[in-house]
Amino acid sequence: MNDFTQHLKEGEDRLMQDIRALAADVEALLKHAARDAGDGWDDTRRNLEQRLKIARRELASLEEAVRARSGRAAETAIAWGREHRWELVGAGVGLGLLLALLLRSDRD
């Protein structure tokens, strides 16, 4: 497992923990709201807001890592395409001929 995959896995694990904690806080919030609007409501609401902020930060961090990785992958693909442009042209021509043959055989 490479560093990026490990980082992504750790981020996913943290996000899942945060989501579980968020669900527990929402459940507590609903219990307090159903019981009475005074006791524990403010504490539970603050705790819920804090968990939401943490979950959003974790999600943003994962999103940033994925974007960076996909950007590097795109750069690598473009560089490979520049180095092997004639192979790509040949593959395109070959696929075009194959498609033309398949379409033509459907008419017969």
Instruction: Give the residue extent of every domain in the chain.
Output: 3-82
pLDDT, greater one: 97 or 68: 97
Q: CA nearest 25: which of 5, 49, 61, 9?
A: 49
Q: Are 22 and 59 in contact (CB under 8 A)?
A: no
pLDDT digits (tens, 9 = 90+) for 30-86: 777 666 666 566 777 777 778 777 877 887 787 788 778 877 888 888 888 899 999
